[in-house]
A and B are shown apart, each in its own frame.
Chain A
Amino acid sequence: MSPLFNQPDEESSQIQKCLNGDAEAIAGLRNKHQPALTNILVGRGANRTEAEDLLADLWADCIFKSEDRPSLLEKFSHKCALQSWLSTVALRRLIDLKRRQKFRGEPVKQSELDSRTDFFERVPSTSSPTPESALIDMLRTSLQGALESCGAEALLILRLVYLHGVTQREVGRMFGWHESKVSRAGATAMKHIQTATLGQIQKKDPWLQLSWEDFLALCETHQVGFL
């Protein structure tokens, strides 16, 4: 068997060693993935210091500390390559960091202070959105906005084909179209959703250079809950 085919087994074995607290295995993992993860974070809008700090925390979290604080790697479910998973975790942390920086930098509006006379009413509420919910909210609102701006006909085609297993030929018969027209309409709609979603994110968080693959990976990891 070629070394390529052995790779997942080697990776699993290395992860297991990390989970057992093998410092050498963790160092090996860091040496292998650090350069690519740094490039990914810098490419998405982090400066080099932020990328290095985030990754230092990430590797520290991969070390088993106690029963209360298990290794981050325990959450890895092997549903994708380790590097994809690590890059999604790192990216999520970058978004959390940038959003915290943004909120820390925004002063409370005077009108908000004036409308509240009691000092305790000015104390921040404990129900402020968590970084996790802020990230989900960003993904959700940008995607919902994009879908709302999509034509009703195109949305129906996408739903029938990709969610309900109807063929493009069958959809074409329904509309009186050739299936190639259905295919083009579906592809155009997907492109519109992609452009509109990323456009909304850019508008809200201009620092964030998210690719469509990043967006999908973030949605997918939240969907199956393996972060």
Chain B
Amino acid sequence: MANSFEILTRFLERYSDEVEGRQLREPSLEVTNKLKEFAKGTLPEDERNTLLNLLKENPNWIPVIANEIKALRPGPGPAD
């Protein structure tokens, strides 16, 4: 069963006029690096707010952070 936030987001994705009206921008290399630093927890706090506001405007950049966090997960241990 979908969680509440997912239901709301999918609804907006389907019906939001912004989906058609706004062209999705890719983050620049500099922003991508900052997103990865943020994911690692190494981005200085004073740089976070700027990045957070950019992410609010460009939620399509969030997978960069999610993927980086997942890449940091420890792999399965050696097989016995």
Name A's B-contacting residues (CB within 8 A): 136, 139-140, 143-144, 147, 152-153, 155-156, 158-160, 162-166, 170-171, 173-176, 190, 193, 216, 219-220, 222-223
Contacts and interface: CB of A to CB of B under 8 A. Distances in A.
Interface residues of B, number: 32
B2 A220 contact: yes
B53 to A, nearest CB: 5
B3 interface: yes
Contacts, number: 86
Contacts of B55: 152, 155-156
B24 interface: no
Interface string B56-69: 10010011011001
A175 B65 CA distance: 12
Given A136-B15, A153-B52, A174-B39, A160 B10 contact: no
17 contacts: A140-B12, A140-B15, A143-B12, A155-B55, A156-B56, A158-B5, A159-B9, A160-B69, A162-B9, A166-B69, A170-B69, A174-B38, A174-B69, A193-B8, A216-B8, A220-B7, A223-B10
B11 A143 contact: yes
Contacts of B63: 164
B29 to A, nearest CB: 21
Interface in B38-61: 38-41, 49, 52-53, 55-56, 59
Contacts of A223: 7, 10-11, 14
